[in-house]
Amino acid sequence: MQHKRRKKNKTLYMNILLSDTNCKFLNNIKYALSQTNKYNIYETNKRNIFNVYDHTHPDVIFLSETDQTHTDIINFLNTWDQKSKIIIESSKNNLLVNDNIYIHQNQLNRLNKVAIFLDNLKTIPKNLEKILYPYMINPIHMFNNSNIRHPQNLGILSNEFEKNEILNNYKVCISWNNLYRSESHICRCSHIDGESENLLEEIKNNLENNIINNKDYTYITYEKFLKDIL
């Protein structure tokens, strides 16, 4: 009697390619993807994207907003064979939040200081410049932009856990396009829109009165975002 050999069930994993650009969107996408074993995750620098693409055959590619200005990414997008799905960071993603990293730590003694996230900005906005050194001395620390040189700019934060610590220790956060509004809300850190025409007045008011918006705030987790698009 001849026995039929049983076929092995091969699990097919989705191939995901991410730009290695250090930005909030990609950092959190990578973290969320790593929490499950459903994906083969690959990273590439912008100059090597053609080579990595050919070797990994990704189903989905994630790029940052700033990646689109890089010559190699521009060439890649212009010659893209459309066999992969490409998702590029946009302002629509600002409601996304990683609630596994950003957690309220019940800090009672917060620093009476302002954390400003300069993500994606090319220069210091005029409304901010006039309240910084040497024009004024205010308890302001700026983060996440290596292109802007200023004594109050403390440089790039290496991961989202560091940002969580800041939002749990500083009283006020400022970001543009509400980029860190969701995270600020979770961490109970007062948030101010960087486009405010009365930035200094809002800073003083929030520092003195510790204004926190405790109203219900709708955001989307990265896990749900990935579940919907993958």
End-of-domain residue from the set 89, 122, 152: 89
Residue 33 in contact with residue 39, Cβ under 8 Å? yes
Query: Can the peptide bond before residue 134 be classed as cis, meaning omega within 30 degrees of 0?
Result: yes
Among 145, 114, 125, CA closest to 210: 114
The pLDDT value recorded for residue 218 is: 79
User: Do residues 62 and 147 share a domain?
Assistant: no
User: What CATH number should be reported for the domain holding residue 200?
Assistant: 3.40.50
Question: Counting Cβ atoms within 10 Å, is residue 35 exposed (0-12), middle (13-18) or buried (19+)?
Answer: exposed
Mean pLDDT by 10 residues, the chain (230 residues): 45 89 95 94 96 96 96 95 93 90 88 96 96 96 96 95 96 95 92 94 90 71 94
Parent domain of 44 = 14-89
Query: Residue 171: which residues within 8 A CB-CB, separation 6 or more?
Result: 110, 111, 112, 113, 114, 189, 190, 206, 207, 210
The pLDDT value recorded for residue 108 is: 77
* 123 φ, ψ (degrees, to nearest 5): -140, 165
- 131 domain-assigned: yes
The pLDDT value recorded for residue 96 is: 93
User: What CATH number should be reported for the domain holding residue 84?
Assistant: 3.40.50.280
The pLDDT value recorded for residue 214 is: 56
Q: Using CA of residue 102, residue 161, residue 25, residue 40, what is the dihedral sign?
A: negative
The pLDDT value recorded for residue 94 is: 86
pLDDT tens, position by position, 37-60: 999 999 999 999 999 999 999 999
**Based on the structure, what is the number of domains in the chain?**
2
Sole residue written with tokens 């709708």: 218
User: Do residues 120 and 169 share a domain?
Assistant: yes
The pLDDT value recorded for residue 102 is: 96
User: Do residues 59 and 122 share a domain?
Assistant: no
**E strands, 4-137, in order:** 14-19, 39-44, 60-63, 85-88, 96-97, 111-117
